[in-house]
Amino acid sequence: MDNRAIGVFDSGLGGLTVVKELHNILPNENIVYLGDTGRIPYGSRSKETIIKYSMQDIQFLKGNDIKLIVAACGTVSSTLPKEISQNLGVPYVDVVFPSAQEACARTSHGRIGVIGTAASIRSNAYGKTIHSLRDDVHVFANPCPLLVHLVENGMIEPDNQITRLTVEMYLKPLIEESIDTLILGCTHYPIIYDIFNQVLNYRVTLIDPGKCAAQYVKKVLSREQLLTDRTEPGVTQYNVTDQVSGFQQTASLFLGETVSGTLNQVELV
């Protein structure tokens, strides 16, 4: 058993959808969260910059004595090389493999859609991972660069016409390919889950990367005998790289509950 915290990081607040699921299935675990809000989004950056920022995020978490690292960011998960992620000294979980595994298990006709940031889609990480699991599946991908900004700015109501029209625009080419399953390949996207369902007429299975990643974290912690033996609820420490004003209101949208725990503004080096 190991009572150290789980470290979770993202370019902004979308990774809190992973924290939400960790709270649900591992309620006694402590969590250290880092949202690099001062440099969001990562999805429009070069591969070299994404790797540089990711390593700074990881070093911050490792400085907080964590037992496992979760890249709760589709862009980082799609970009960080395995020679780095597999040599961090602690287990590493991203959102790509668990989501791809779930999509392969749930697709009914082998037609899987993937949406994400420009960097995620450009990397083809989801497509490569899916085809490593099932070579009989067809994958159709489309980048959705505006959605992170819309979600971060609170335009998430199911009847928000701007967000709905944007989703319709991005999903049109995937609908034309008759997808039966859609990976929401950015942890911001589950916040507008209802809009995706409406646009798809509830006929496509949606894969939530936050849920998939959290379930995989539990599996890894169990396998490595790293689960906590605490019986009381865990605590979460929130860290952001930009101003903290407005954090609680925005974060509560991602967490689905009132934010409790400490909040710090930090600087990465």
CB of 22 within 8 A of CB of 29?
yes
User: CB count, 10 Å around CB of 194?
Assistant: 14
Please identify which of the residues 73, 104, 144, 212 carries the catalytic annotation. 73
Alpha carbon distance 137, 181 (integer Å) = 11
CB of 130 within 8 A of CB of 103?
yes
Residue with tokens 């989501």: 99
User: Catalytic site residue 73?
Assistant: yes
Strand order in the sheet with 92-93: 92-93, 66-71, 5-10, 31-35, 236-240, 262-265
Alpha carbon distance 149, 189 (integer Å) = 11
- Write out the H or E segment, with its range, that includes residue 109: none
- 24: Cβ contacts below 8 Å, ≥ 6 apart: 214
Tokens at 197, concatenated: 């369902």
DSSP string, 84-105: HHTTSSS-EE-SHHHHHHHHHH
Cis status of the peptide bond prior to 41, with omega within 30 of 0:
yes
User: Catalytic site residue 186?
Assistant: yes
CB of 141 within 8 A of CB of 115?
yes
Please identify which of the residues 104, 144, 186, 212 carries the catalytic annotation. 186
Q: Which residues are catalytic?
A: 73, 186
